[in-house]
Structure 1
Amino acid sequence: MKKSKIKLDKTDRKILEILQANAKITNAQLAQEIGLSPAPTLERVKKLEISGIIKSYHATLDNEKVGLGVSTFVMVSLKGHNKANIEVFTQSIAEIEEIIECHHITGSGDFILKIISQDIPSYQKLMLEKVTNIEVVDSMQSLVILSTFKDSKIMPIP
């Protein structure tokens, strides 16, 4: 089922750019930046939320400051690439809070996961006690993130 693309005008795009950069901006500040009064600005933001274009608002945390010093990508291959195995896998990883992203991919693996943990020993424990115990996992390849040069949460609006 294909999702229909929603038409955005110049003002909608500007609102999305501003909110992505600073979701804590007040409606009055937003209105001033886009050149509308507060009531129509709020109406436009609500429309973007109701349509599902704006899915949620989040605080971005500093991983190291909250004690999560190790980030990895893990490429996972399943024992068989069928619907039942995919469901078992996705349901299993949904219960592991350290897995913060899961993407179904093409190429040499079936999924790529982004995992955060306190340190290497806790990462190793997570992998040995949880991830490798998922019955449909055939193989995994871990890629430890040494440093990050770009981690933008701002989507370019076409």
Structure 2
Amino acid sequence: MDKTDKAILKNLQKNARMTISDLSVAISLSMPAASERLRKLETSGVIKQYTVVLDPEKINKHLTALMFLRFDNTANGENFAEYASDESEINECYYITGEYDYYLKIITEDARTLKSLLSRIKNNPGLVKTSNVVVLSNIIDNVSVLSD
């Protein structure tokens, strides 16, 4: 990946709906060259998907919580990973090192819906320890991987 590919990606991270015409101007390439570069980034899997970033507050999701979980054995953790993929309020789930096995980012409506989700999570077999925190404010929420 060269500087031009990175420039394409940085521009698309800011606005994935950018036209090929606008992109080609931004990176100083012809439209066919910019289009070919973009196609290669897509087919190689560098660009996984195009999506929309939503404002949780505007869709009635006012509470963000972080949860750490530890399981008694690997099999129960793997079963949890399958379970987590079906819970729409779990936005991120990471298998991690350290004292805990999994880290979750939960975005939900309010304390009532968080309590309900935590009850469901805690019913998973082999869960031996959890730690939860509620986010008071969001300082950095950067969905981009490449920085300026």
* TM band (smaller chain): over 0.9
**Equivalent in 122, 130, 137 of residue 140 of structure 1:** 130
2:119 matches 1:119: no
The code of the aligned residue for 1:101 comes to E
Percentage of pairs with the same residue: 35
Q: What CA distance in whole angstroms lies between the structure 2 residues aligned with 1:39 and 1:135?
A: 55
1:53-102 CA deviation, whole Å, 9 max, x = no partner? 1111111111011000000110001122x2x2232111111111111100
Aligned to 2:63: 70
Structure (1 or 2) with the greater helix fraction? 2
The code of the aligned residue for 1:25 comes to M
2:25 matches 1:49: no
Q: What CA distance in whole angstroms lies between the structure 1 residues aligned with 2:121 and 2:9?
A: 37
**Equivalent in 38, 56, 78 of residue 87 of structure 1:** 78
Aligned to 2:140: 150
Q: What CA distance in whole angstroms lies between the structure 2 residues aligned with 1:15 and 1:60?
A: 19
Q: Secondary structure at the match of 2:58?
A: coil
TM-score, scaled relative to structure 1: 0.89
The size of the alignment, in residue pairs, is 147
Q: Secondary structure at the match of 2:88?
A: coil
Structure 1: segments with no counterpart, 5+ residues: 1-7
TM-score, scaled relative to structure 2: 0.95
